[in-house]
Amino acid sequence: MPSHAETFPPDAPPPRLELRGITKRFPGCLANDHVDLVLQPGEIHALLGENGAGKSTLVKMIYGVLHPDSGTMLWQGVETIVPDPAGARRLGIGMVFQHFSLFDTLTVTENIALGLDDAGRMDELADRIRSVSERYGLALDPERHVFHLSVGERQRVEIVRCLLQDPKLLIMDEPTSVLTPQEAAKLFETLRVLAAEGCTILYISHKLEEIRALCSRATVLRAGKVVGATDPRQETARSLAEMMMGAELSTPERPPQGAAGAARLSVRHLSTTSDNPFATNLKDVSFEVRAGEILGIAGVAGNGQAELMAALSGEMLVADADSVVIEGASAGHLGPRARRSLGLAFVPEERLGRGAVPELSLSENALLSGYAREPLVRGGMVHFGRARAYAETIIRGFNVVAHGHRAEARSLSGGNLQKFIIGREILQKPKLLVVGQPTWGVDAGAAAAIHKALIGLARSGAAVLVISQDLDELFVLSDRISVLFHGRLSDSRPTHETTVERIGLLMGGLFGTPPDEDGEITRAV
Amino acid sequence: MNDFALIGPILAAMFAAATPLLFAALGELVVEKSGVLNLGVEGMMLVGAVCGFAVTIQTGSAVTGFLVAALAGAATASLFAVLTLFLLANQVATGLALTLFGVGLSALIGQGFVGIPLEGLPKLYIPGLTDLPVVGQALFGQDIMVYLAVAAVPLVHLFLYRTRAGLVLRAVGENHTAAHALGYKVLRIRFLAVLFGGAMAGLGGAFLSMDYTPMWAENMTSGRGWIALALVVFATWKPVRAMLGAWLFGGVTILQLHVQGLGIDVPSQLLSMLPYLATVLVLVLISRDVARIRLNAPACLGKLFHPDA
């Protein structure tokens, strides 16, 4: 399809997309306030801003999900109104959503067909998916149902869906948050190829180093307004973060670790078997987390993280009670409540639905896990006054931005809800805290606060286990790092003795699997 | 010897007894796949039954009767659709109200028609084939509506799993927010699905009043609408399984009638319970597979959707 740009003289091509004075108001908040944005053909343009700065609203208007109250939009020099997402796709605008717009019970092919206007026959589409996913190194099985896929694999579905549309403008909302550094590097190659082919990429990410490496322009939003535009290659991650926040960024300090204390959590030869044929079974996983330290477990989603989290929290009981030992007590046969009373606190990866009940207020959510270790319930009766006070303590202590303790959990932004959940667990003074993906989709300011809280907890004598795909985060937090791959756990290495590249290679499976090659693992790290 | 001769008529009657359930269940299956839970099946069946019956009496045309029954079912369903889809009323409460409404409305319409007999539909007769022992009557001696109901099973299946429209409908039932974000008209798709469900329930009801027991009596569906609802869930939203469930219900219904006829000393109320009990029991047993339920249950079932939220 010839692009309209080609009809213009080459010395004065119109911008691919130009926004002039776009304004969008929601009840009680001005989401976008006279936003101007110019995207040139073939550029990779970063859109920066904290959670709630109005980035999502802006890109939803570009993609036709929302409509601006005022302002104009010029597509390749022509004033255009994008009526709906189908209209956006007809123009050549593709979008990878932050909260995946996937359908769990449908297959990969069916999901992709739903995002295409000319899907054609299913078997031909499956072949196209295979060839695109191979070309860009995004491994995908078109026949699988989405609910079997890991978060990382789901994102690949979104990306492949967009690539199949041959877009002229590709909007990517946090695309690398679940990829290994190597996978991200591969994606960047893909994006650079696409940009070189003339496709404009509007790139939203909290990973500022990535933006510096990838993007040639950056527009910064704060509270719905454009507060700056810059060439991110000329900035530091710190200066970018401060532009976003409009304040100085405090990086978490990691005071040196004291003498490692007693083992708070011992996992010995933990193996799981699941009825779900697509689950990743854990194979002979052993590790210890000691008082005062943070152990980080790296790995790409779908390598057994969900199973390990479930086996530790008590959501899934394990065959051998002695394979999970909390504070010296065999806990493999205990449910979540019994484990909490042993001193375990737990922050699951899914904030809404596991970490918090979306429809309940913050004080009710505080009660849900807080009652096990705080005096919030007496004789079966809820002490609402105390639950409220407890929620307010969390909100104040962790700077949660919310309309008080009555706010529904789902009304909070991801970062604020995560601060609330982590605060709820930390204030219970746990002896052992297990956290999954603590800062997934959380902006830099909130992430720094969460990291600081986790380090503070460990230094006060608790044992902390962080399971994350974000290597930068693990390197900031952990005293030791292990890698989970295909259900097996590598030996841990002290963080200061290893590098992101080496851990990245382990995440790709470059360590010996049979136990007798353990020496090999050590050398590889 | 006598028992053996009974098998043919029992089989034949089983397919007929299953037909109203099959219509209603297939309709409700499509509705639920789009993410809407309409508990008003019983009410829509009754409205379809009385309207089909009345129109057939007035016009003498069974075809017109069935058409009007489908329209009447769809009209009743549109009431539910407007309330739940556009006015965001709770689906469970509205569905229950729709059933009560249907019971009352059908009784009102049917006042002048109680006790009037009607001739059922003509049965198929193919010389040779229909005369076959045991299966002849069952397979080649039914009327057109029985065959239509069975033909609807593969049609619904093909629609849901082989067409783009069916894929979009399943997507809307699975995740309406994502479907909306991709640009699909969630409410329009659900509205059409609810109308289809109403039309099918209307046909099922009309089959009862115009063919199975060709007369009108108040509340003559006697809970079949509820069984159709149960069938959909226990069939894990699969059309073929819903058909097997309907046949099971039909089969036990006919069998217990024969047992009652034999004069065995069991209270007839107990025997009348049997079809309901057996259907639920068997379907529960075959639908215990959690993975299958997870794979087929529409995740947005019964959830309200507002495009601007």
Q: Are A439 and A473 in contact (CB under 8 A)?
A: yes
Residue A323 sits in the same domain as residue A229: no
Task: Give the count of alpha carbons within 13 A of B88, CB side only.
Answer: 6
Q: Which of A87, A106, A147 sits opposite B170 (nearest CB)?
A: A106
**What are the pLDDT digits (tens) for A425-462?**
999 999 999 999 898 877 778 888 899 999 999 999 99
The yes-or-no verdict on residue B1 having pLDDT over 50 is: no
Residue B131 confidence (pLDDT):
79
Q: Are A290 and A464 in contact (CB under 8 A)?
A: no
| Closest residue of chain A to B181, computed from CA coordinates | A65
Under the phi-then-psi rule, with left for phi > 0, alpha for psi from -120 to 50, and beta for the rest, what region is A511?
beta
Residue B96 burial by CB count (10 A; 0-12/13-18/19+): exposed, middle or buried?
middle
Contacts of A146 (CB under 8 A, 6+ apart): A102, A103, A104, A105, A106, A107, A108, A111, A154, A157
Q: Note whether A147 contacts B294, CB cutoff 8 Å.
A: yes
A96 Cα to chain B: minimum distance (Å): 11
Q: Which of B171, B177, B290 sits opposite A114 (nearest CB)?
A: B171
C-alpha B45/C-alpha B229 separation (Å) is 12
Helix, strand, or coil here: A298? strand
Other Cβ atoms within 10 Å of A25 Cβ, number: 15
Is the CB of residue A100 less than 8 Å away from at least one CB of chain B?
A: yes
Q: Which residues of A touch B180 (CB under 8 A)?
A: 65
The domain tally of chain A equals 2
Q: Are A299 and A328 in contact (CB under 8 A)?
A: no
Cβ-count burial A292-325 (b if 16+ within 10 Å, e if not): bbbbbbbbbbbbbbbbbbbbbbbbbebeeeebbb
Q: Note whether B182 contacts A115, CB cutoff 8 Å.
A: yes
Q: Note whether B181 contacts A85, CB cutoff 8 Å.
A: yes
A428 lies in some domain: yes
Q: How far is CA A505 from CA A175, A184, A189, A484, A490, in A?
A: 20, 13, 18, 12, 12
Contacts 24+ apart (CB under 8 A), A231-235: A232/A46, A232/A208
The yes-or-no verdict on residue B205 having pLDDT over 90 is: yes
Q: Which residues of A touch B184 (CB under 8 A)?
A: 114
Helix, strand, or coil here: A518? helix
Contacts of A126 (CB under 8 A, 6+ apart): A109, A142, A143
A179 lies in some domain: yes
Q: Note whether A113 contacts B164, CB cutoff 8 Å.
A: yes
Residue A96 sits in the same domain as residue A31: yes
Is the CB of residue A106 less than 8 Å away from at least one CB of chain B?
A: yes
Q: Which residues of B touch A110 (CB under 8 A)?
A: 167, 171
Helix, strand, or coil here: A506? helix
A340 lies in some domain: yes
Mutate which of A25, A103, A165 to disrupt the B interface (most B C-beta within 10 Å)? Answer: A103
Residue A158 burial by CB count (10 A; 0-12/13-18/19+): exposed, middle or buried?
buried
**What are the pLDDT digits (tens) for A21-66?**
999 988 767 889 999 999 999 999 999 887 778 888 899 899 998 8
B39 Cα to chain A: minimum distance (Å): 24
C-alpha A156/C-alpha A100 separation (Å) is 10
Q: Of A211, A332, A215, A315, nearest to A268 (Cα)?
A: A332
Under the phi-then-psi rule, with left for phi > 0, alpha for psi from -120 to 50, and beta for the rest, what region is B71?
alpha
Mutate which of B162, B164, B167 to disrupt the A interface (most A C-beta within 10 Å)? Answer: B167
Q: Which residues of B touch A165 (CB under 8 A)?
A: none
Q: Note whether A119 contacts B164, CB cutoff 8 Å.
A: yes
- CATH code assigned at A485: 3.40.50.300
| Closest residue of chain B to A86, computed from CA coordinates | B183
Q: Which residues of A touch B170 (CB under 8 A)?
A: 103, 105-106
Is the CB of residue A84 less than 8 Å away from at least one CB of chain B?
A: yes
Is the CB of residue A113 less than 8 Å away from at least one CB of chain B?
A: yes
Q: Are A465 and A438 in contact (CB under 8 A)?
A: no
Amino acid letter at B224? R
**What are the pLDDT digits (tens) for A78-120?**
999 999 888 898 899 988 876 667 888 889 999 999 888 777 7
Listed in order, strand segments (DSSP E) in A327-404 are 329-330, 344-347, 377-378, 381-382
Residue A273 sits in the same domain as residue A240: no
Residue A345 sits in the same domain as residue A236: no
Residue A128 in tokens: 């196209």
Least confident of A103-117, B123-137, B162-176, B227-241: B123-137
Residue A378 confidence (pLDDT):
83
**What are the pLDDT digits (tens) for B290-304?**
777 777 888 889 888
Task: Give the count of alpha carbons within 13 A of A460, CB side only.
Answer: 13
Is the CB of residue A115 less than 8 Å away from at least one CB of chain B?
A: yes
A3 lies in some domain: no
Q: Note whether A85 contacts B299, CB cutoff 8 Å.
A: no
Residue A206 sits in the same domain as residue A325: no
Q: How far is CA A510 from CA A182, A306, A448, A484, A504, in A?
A: 12, 21, 31, 11, 9
Q: Of A126, A144, A358, nearest to B177 (Cα)?
A: A358
| Closest residue of chain B to A106, computed from CA coordinates | B171
Mutate which of A91, A105, A112, A278 to disrupt the B interface (most B C-beta within 10 Å)? Answer: A105
A2 lies in some domain: no
Residue A309 sits in the same domain as residue A366: yes
Residue A95 confidence (pLDDT):
87
Residue A203 sits in the same domain as residue A67: yes
Q: Which of A97, A105, A110 sits opposite B181 (nearest CB)?
A: A97
Fold for the domain defined by B2-296: ABC transporter involved in vitamin B12 uptake, BtuC (1.10.3470)
State phi, psi for A95 to the nearest 5 degrees: -145, 135
pLDDT-derived band at B262, boundaries 50, 70, 90: confident
Q: Which residues of A touch B296 (CB under 8 A)?
A: 105
Residue A307 sits in the same domain as residue A180: no
Q: Are A105 and B174 in contact (CB under 8 A)?
A: yes
Residue A326 in tokens: 């909390």
Please tell me the pTM assigned to this model: 0.71
Q: Are B76 and B98 in contact (CB under 8 A)?
A: yes
Q: How far is CA B137 from CA A83, B14, B126, B214, B256, in A?
A: 58, 11, 10, 20, 20
**What are the pLDDT digits (tens) for B20-34?**
999 999 999 999 999
Residue A41 confidence (pLDDT):
93
Q: Which of B174, B183, B294 sits opposite A103 (nearest CB)?
A: B174
| Strand ordering across the sheet containing A324-326 | A285-290, A263-270, A324-326, A329-330
Q: Note whether B167 contacts A114, CB cutoff 8 Å.
A: yes
Under the phi-then-psi rule, with left for phi > 0, alpha for psi from -120 to 50, and beta for the rest, what region is B3?
alpha
H/E element holding A88? helix A85-91
Q: How far is CA A81 from CA A66, A75, A90, A91, in A?
A: 11, 9, 12, 11
Is the CB of residue A64 less than 8 Å away from at least one CB of chain B?
A: yes
Residue B1 in tokens: 């010897």
C-alpha B276/C-alpha A319 separation (Å) is 40
Q: Are A469 and A178 in contact (CB under 8 A)?
A: yes
Q: How does DSSP classify residue A199?
A: -
Other Cβ atoms within 10 Å of A460 Cβ, number: 11
Q: Which of A86, A103, A145 sits opposite B175 (nearest CB)?
A: A103
Q: Are A5 and A16 in contact (CB under 8 A)?
A: yes
Q: Of A79, A65, A75, nearest to A24 (Cα)?
A: A65
| Higher pLDDT pick, A464 / A209 | A464
Q: Note whether B167 contacts A106, CB cutoff 8 Å.
A: yes
Residue A116 sits in the same domain as residue A199: yes
Residue A8 confidence (pLDDT):
47
C-alpha B7/C-alpha A517 separation (Å) is 69
**Domain residues for A111?**
15-245
Q: Which of A64, A84, A103 sits opposite B178 (nearest CB)?
A: A103
Is the CB of residue A81 less than 8 Å away from at least one CB of chain B?
A: no
Mutate which of B33, B175, B182 to disrupt the A interface (most A C-beta within 10 Å)? Answer: B182
Instruction: Encode A110-130 in three state secondary structure.
Output: HHHHHCCCCCCCHHHHHHHHH
Query: Domain ends where: A182, A210, A245?
Result: A245
Q: Would you list the domain boundaries of chain B?
A: 2-296
Residue A228 sits in the same domain as residue A277: no
ipTM value for the complex: 0.80
Residue A174 sits in the same domain as residue A318: no
C-alpha A410/C-alpha A53 separation (Å) is 18
State phi, psi for A299 to the nearest 5 degrees: 150, 150
Q: Are A197 and A152 in contact (CB under 8 A)?
A: no
Residue A371 in tokens: 């009652």
A217 Cα to chain B: minimum distance (Å): 27
Contacts of A157 (CB under 8 A, 6+ apart): A100, A102, A108, A111, A112, A140, A146, A149
pLDDT mean over B73-100:
96
Bridge pairing between strands A225-230 and A217-222: antiparallel
- Biggest alpha carbon distance in chain A? 80
A279 Cα to chain B: minimum distance (Å): 12
A112 lies in some domain: yes
A5 lies in some domain: no
B86 Cα to chain A: minimum distance (Å): 20
The yes-or-no verdict on residue A514 having pLDDT over 80 is: no
**What are the pLDDT digits (tens) for A376-431?**
888 888 888 889 999 999 999 888 888 888 888 888 877 889 999 999 999 999 99
Residue A145 sits in the same domain as residue A176: yes
pLDDT mean over A189-215:
86
pLDDT mean over A186-203:
87
A16 Cα to chain B: minimum distance (Å): 22
Residue A347 in tokens: 């922050």
Is the CB of residue A485 less than 8 Å away from at least one CB of chain B?
A: no
Contacts 24+ apart (CB under 8 A), B93-97: B94/B40, B95/B37, B95/B38, B95/B39, B95/B40, B96/B39, B96/B40, B97/B40
Q: Of A372, A494, A491, nearest to A431 (Cα)?
A: A372
Residues of chain B whose beta carbon is less than 8 angstroms from a beta carbon of chain A are: 164, 167-168, 170-171, 174-175, 177-184, 290-291, 294-299
pLDDT mean over A167-192:
79
Amino acid letter at A71? G
Q: Are B186 and B81 in contact (CB under 8 A)?
A: no
State phi, psi for A156 to the nearest 5 degrees: -60, -40
Instruction: Encode chain B in three state secondary structure.
Output: CHHHHHHHHHHHHHHHHHHHHHHHHHHHHHHHHCCCCCCCHHHHHHHHHHHHHHHHHHHCCHHHHHHHHHHHHHHHHHHHHHHHHHCCCCHHHHHHHHHHHHHHHHHHHHHHHECCCCCCCCCCCCCCCCCCCCHHHHHHCCCHHHHHHHHHHHHHHHHHHHCHHHHHHHHHHHCHHHHHHCCCCHHHHHHHHHHHHHHHHHHHHHHHHHHHCCCECCCCCCCHHHHHHHHHHHCCCCHHHHHHHHHHHHHHHHHHHHHHHCCCCCCHHHHHHHHHHHHHHHHHHHCCCHHHHHHHCCCCCCCCCCCCC
Could you say which residues from 246 to 305 on chain A have a Cβ atom under 8 Å away from some Cβ of chain B?
275-276
Q: Note whether A65 contacts B181, CB cutoff 8 Å.
A: yes
**A38 bridge partner residues:** A18
